[in-house]
């Protein structure tokens, strides 16, 4: 029996007599919903049926974790709201890690979770669990739908919350009886404000008095440095920040998520700071003023809260007031949007900009010289001819071949750290997409799917370890079914490399426990699954293999790169520094 009934009233306002599930689908479409990732169950069948009939693009995935990771990357790359769904119980619980990623990373998402029929709840219904209690701590807001008539209102709220302030994921929990119920909705109920379809939906400026104080501090500084975080990309402020830095000759260091706040080739780019750096950490210590933009100054960025050293003067610009003074006290707190805050700072400093730029005129050359010296120092690793392949050489080849409009998606652990350290974002903007909200393993393959769907004409590389690839290998079927062109580069070291490297560093040669994996030819696996697989065992073959992978084939390519098995060379550092470990230290 069909549940879909559309009725037009003979007189008075037009109405649509439709199911709750269809009402949700219509609201997603009204907000310009791009792609929804999910795996259905009985509770959401009306939503799925409406998606089919109304043209909402929906993608069946093989694991809900992959679906929410794909939606997260889709949102990060496109700026639109990521959409995904899951059935009750195990479907909903599989969303937890992805929700944590989106919440901590500021990713706008609306997530639909089916729930039990309210007439039978808590009578041991199949797959029933306290999913509302489980999901609430890892989302920005959880909206439980208790009346079918309120669906348009509550979905509007979900998009508003997801895209305002620091963006984040909103879960809509919909009971089975609400999803299947038919209700006469006024057609006008499906009208929406399109500004809440993408980020940033709303912007706010810092107050003028605080901007003036910050401008005075900058004008009086001798050696200021900008520290840029992922909030720069959430605000769409990369070009504004780049122009601000260039106008005044102020160097810019960035976090993993902030890479691309200024092009990596820019003379003012000081690279990654914190746990892994090239030249940025000493530069921060030399600075007398730090301008922090869209950065939470968490553990990785501060090298476990040791950078900057105590006493540094700080200006902190962020759209979330709760981040001020959380880890480092700020002399001036600029509460507002990063793009507008930088524009206001630039305007306040405009009368002095020429003099300040002249005062700091030698800084671009200084940063370039330091970066050149670093490259020369580590050149042996960056251009290594060792077999198996050195990961630094792999990143060198990726930098040489990935086009300027390309994206590098980075899985958690090794991939994000090596990529953050060595990948050169060619433009101002988010070309490097790591999962730093949760640093979860398994993001690489589904993240590439989301990015490829968001930017189908752009080249997409994903960097993942063999462990992360193992977690999501089944999604090759999804990517093949969707005919998505992207390349997954598997760092194949037959180990949980991050753990093995730390065990080697802390306990010595041979002291490894539960960190080794089987030797697997992932190119052969990809070919067996109907995808294109290429195996690379020698560094001289990297350029050709990467070039071949950029040739579109109507499906995904797996580039299986056999990298070093030496645990002493696995950590994302490329120089020969000796790391001294003390009890309680975490150096990686």
Buried b (16+ CB within 10 A) or exposed e, 143-154: bebeebbbbbeb
CB 148 within 8 A of CB 186: no
User: Do 454 and 337 belong to one domain?
Assistant: no
Number of domains making up the chain: 3
CA within 13 Å, CB half, 396: 18
Q: What is the pLDDT of residue 465?
A: 95
DSSP 38-84: EE--GGGHHHHHHHHHHT-EEEE-S-HHHHHHHHHHHHHHH-BPEEE
In CATH, what number is assigned to the domain containing residue 102?
A: 3.40.50.970
Whether residue 578 is contained in a domain is answered as no
The residue-averaged pLDDT of 262-281 equals: 96
> Is residue 321 helix, strand or coil?
helix
Q: What is the pLDDT of residue 414?
A: 83
Q: What are 332-386's pLDDT values in tens digits?
A: 999 999 999 999 999 999 999 999 999 999 999 999 999 999 999 999 999 999 9
> Is residue 96 helix, strand or coil?
helix
Find the range with the poorest average confidence among 177-186, 412-421, 455-464, 575-584. Answer: 575-584
**CA gap 516, 496 in Å, rounded:** 6
Q: What is the pLDDT of residue 563?
A: 96
The residue-averaged pLDDT of 47-73 equals: 97
Provide the mean pLDDT of the chain.
Answer: 94
Residue 457, sorted as left (phi over 0), alpha (psi -120 to 50) or beta, turns out to be alpha
User: Do 388 and 357 belong to one domain?
Assistant: no
User: Do 299 and 169 belong to one domain?
Assistant: no
Q: What are 70-98's pLDDT values in tens digits?
A: 999 999 999 999 999 999 999 999 999 99
Whether residue 569 is contained in a domain is answered as no
Decide if pLDDT at 7 tops 70.
no
> In the chain, what percentage of residues exceed pLDDT 90?
87
Total residue count of the chain as it appears in this document: 588
CB 536 within 8 A of CB 386: no
Q: What are 94-118's pLDDT values in tens digits?
A: 999 999 999 999 999 999 999 999 9
Q: What are 423-436's pLDDT values in tens digits?
A: 999 999 999 999 99
Residue 557, sorted as left (phi over 0), alpha (psi -120 to 50) or beta, turns out to be beta
> Using 50, 70 and 90 to split pLDDT, how confident is the model at 1?
very low
User: Do 405 and 539 belong to one domain?
Assistant: yes
Whether residue 588 is contained in a domain is answered as no
Whether residue 59 is contained in a domain is answered as yes
The residue segments making up the domain with residue 218 are: 208-368
Q: What are 224-261's pLDDT values in tens digits?
A: 999 999 999 999 999 999 999 999 999 999 999 999 99
Decide if pLDDT at 8 tops 80.
no
Tokens of 470: 């193992």
User: Do 224 and 344 belong to one domain?
Assistant: yes
Whether residue 5 is contained in a domain is answered as no
> Is residue 244 helix, strand or coil?
helix
> Is residue 335 helix, strand or coil?
strand
Per DSSP, what are the bridge partners of residue 291? 226, 315
Helix then strand then coil, % of the chain, to nearest 5:
40, 20, 40
Decide if pLDDT at 301 tops 60.
yes
Greater pLDDT, 414 or 182: 182
**CA gap 448, 438 in Å, rounded:** 17
Find the range with the poorest average confidence among 191-205, 271-285, 297-311, 570-584. Answer: 570-584
User: Do 76 and 219 belong to one domain?
Assistant: no
CB 95 within 8 A of CB 103: no
In CATH, what number is assigned to the domain containing residue 325?
A: 3.40.50.1220
Q: What is the pLDDT of residue 63?
A: 96
User: Do 146 and 213 belong to one domain?
Assistant: no
Q: What is the pLDDT of residue 568?
A: 86
Decide if pLDDT at 573 tops 90.
no
The residue-averaged pLDDT of 443-452 equals: 98
Q: What is the pLDDT of residue 9?
A: 45
CA within 13 Å, CB half, 244: 30
Whether residue 580 is contained in a domain is answered as no
The residue-averaged pLDDT of 457-475 equals: 97
**CA gap 33, 56 in Å, rounded:** 7
The residue-averaged pLDDT of 313-319 equals: 98
Decide if pLDDT at 192 tops 80.
yes
Nearest alpha-carbon partner for 295 in 266, 260, 324, 331: 324
Whether residue 586 is contained in a domain is answered as no
CB 144 within 8 A of CB 161: no
Please say which residue of 343, 368, 393 terminates a domain. 368
Please say which residue of 196, 229, 244 terminates a domain. 196
Decide if pLDDT at 588 tops 80.
no
**CA gap 168, 109 in Å, rounded:** 6
Please say which residue of 196, 221, 241 terminates a domain. 196
Give Cβ neighbours of residue 11 (< 8 Å, ≥ 6 apart).
none
Tokens of 512: 């490894």
Q: What is the pLDDT of residue 6?
A: 56
> Using 50, 70 and 90 to split pLDDT, how confident is the model at 586?
low
Q: What is the pLDDT of residue 24?
A: 98
| DSSP element (H, E) containing 465 | strand 460-465
| DSSP element (H, E) containing 169 | strand 169-175
Buried b (16+ CB within 10 A) or exposed e, 21-38: bbbbbbbbbbbebbbbbb
Q: What is the pLDDT of residue 582?
A: 55
User: Do 548 and 422 belong to one domain?
Assistant: yes
User: Do 137 and 46 belong to one domain?
Assistant: yes
Q: What is the pLDDT of residue 381?
A: 93
What are φ and ψ of residue 142, in 5° steps?
-115, 125
Q: What are 150-189's pLDDT values in tens digits?
A: 999 999 999 999 999 999 999 999 999 999 999 999 999 9
Helix 45-54 / helix 20-30 crossing angle, nearest 10 deg: 40
The residue-averaged pLDDT of 321-338 equals: 96
Place of tokens 């992360």: 468
CB 178 within 8 A of CB 20: yes
User: Do 396 and 525 belong to one domain?
Assistant: yes
User: Do 99 and 71 belong to one domain?
Assistant: yes
User: Do 315 and 411 belong to one domain?
Assistant: no
The residue-averaged pLDDT of 524-535 equals: 98
Greater pLDDT, 144 or 126: 144
**CA gap 49, 91 in Å, rounded:** 19
Whether residue 573 is contained in a domain is answered as no
**CA gap 218, 200 in Å, rounded:** 27
0.85 cut: is pTM over it? yes
**CA gap 548, 342 in Å, rounded:** 42
Q: What is the pLDDT of residue 352?
A: 97
């Amino acid at each position: 029996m069909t549940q879909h009934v559309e009725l037009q009233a003979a007189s008075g306002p037009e109405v649509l007599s439709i199911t709750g599930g269809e009402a949700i689908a219509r609201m997603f479409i009204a907000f310009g919903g791009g792609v929804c990732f999910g795996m259905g169950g009985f509770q959401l069948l009306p939503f799925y049926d409406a998606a089919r009939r109304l043209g909402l693009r929906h993608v069946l995935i093989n694991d809900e974790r992959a679906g929410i990771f794909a939606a997260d990357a889709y949102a990060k790359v496109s700026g639109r709201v990521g959409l995904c769904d899951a059935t009750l119980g195990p479907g909903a619980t599989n969303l937890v890690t992805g929700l944590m990623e989106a919440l901590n990373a500021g990713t706008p998402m609306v997530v639909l979770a089916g729930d039990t029929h309210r007439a039978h709840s808590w009578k041991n219904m199949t797959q029933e669990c306290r999913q509302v209690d489980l999901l609430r701590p890892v989302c920005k807001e959880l909206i439980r739908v208790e009346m079918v008539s309120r669906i348009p209102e509550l979905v509007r709220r979900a998009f508003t919350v997801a895209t305002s302030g620091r963006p984040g994921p909103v879960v809509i929990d919909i009971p089975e009886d609400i999803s299947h119920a038919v209700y006469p909705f006024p057609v006008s109920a499906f009208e929406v404000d399109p500004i809440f379809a993408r980020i940033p939906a709303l912007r706010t400026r810092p107050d003028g008095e605080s901007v003036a104080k910050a401008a005075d501090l900058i004008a009086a500084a001798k050696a200021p440095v900008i520290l840029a975080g992922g909030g720069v990309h959430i605000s769409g402020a990369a070009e504004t920040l780049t122009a601000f830095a260039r106008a005044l000759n102020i160097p810019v260091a960035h976090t993993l998520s902030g890479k691309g706040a200024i092009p990596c080739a820019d003379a003012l780019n000081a690279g990654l700071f914190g746990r892994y750096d090239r030249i940025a950490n000493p530069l921060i210590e030399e600075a007398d003023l730090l301008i922090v933009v869209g950065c939470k100054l968490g553990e990785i960025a501060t090298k476990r809260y040791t950078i900057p050293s105590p006493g540094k003067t700080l200006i902190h610009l962020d759209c979330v007031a709760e981040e001020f003074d959380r880890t480092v006290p700020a002399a001036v707190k600029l509460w507002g949007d990063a793009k507008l805050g930088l524009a206001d700072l630039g305007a306040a400093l405009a009368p002095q900009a020429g003099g300040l730029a002249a005062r700091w005129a030698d800084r671009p050359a200084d940063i370039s010289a330091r970066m050149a010296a670093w490259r020369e120092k580590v050149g042996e690793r960056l251009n290594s001819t060792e077999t198996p392949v050195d990961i630094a050489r792999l990143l060198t080849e990726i930098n040489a071949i990935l086009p300027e409009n390309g994206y590098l998606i980075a899985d958690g652990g090794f991939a994000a750290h090596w990529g953050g350290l060595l990948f050169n974002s060619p433009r101002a903007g988010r070309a490097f997409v790591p999962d730093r909200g949760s640093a979860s393993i398994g993001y690489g393959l589904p993240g590439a799917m989301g990015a490829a769907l968001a930017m189908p004409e752009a080249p997409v590389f994903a960097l993942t370890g063999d462990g992360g690839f193992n977690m999501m290998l089944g999604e090759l079927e999804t990517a093949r079914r969707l005919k998505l062109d992207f390349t997954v580069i598997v760092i194949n070291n037959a180990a949980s490399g991050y753990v093995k490297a730390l065990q080697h560093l802390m306990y010595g040669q041979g002291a490894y426990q539960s960190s080794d994996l089987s030797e697997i030819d992932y190119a052969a696996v990809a070919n067996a699954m109907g995808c294109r697989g290429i195996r690379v065992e020698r560094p001289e073959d990297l350029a050709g293999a990467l070039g071949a992978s950029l040739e579109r084939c109507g499906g995904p390519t797996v580039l299986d790169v056999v990298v070093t098995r030496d645990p002493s060379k696995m950590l994302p550092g490329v120089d020969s520094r000796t790391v001294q470990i003390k009890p309680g230290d975490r150096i990686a």
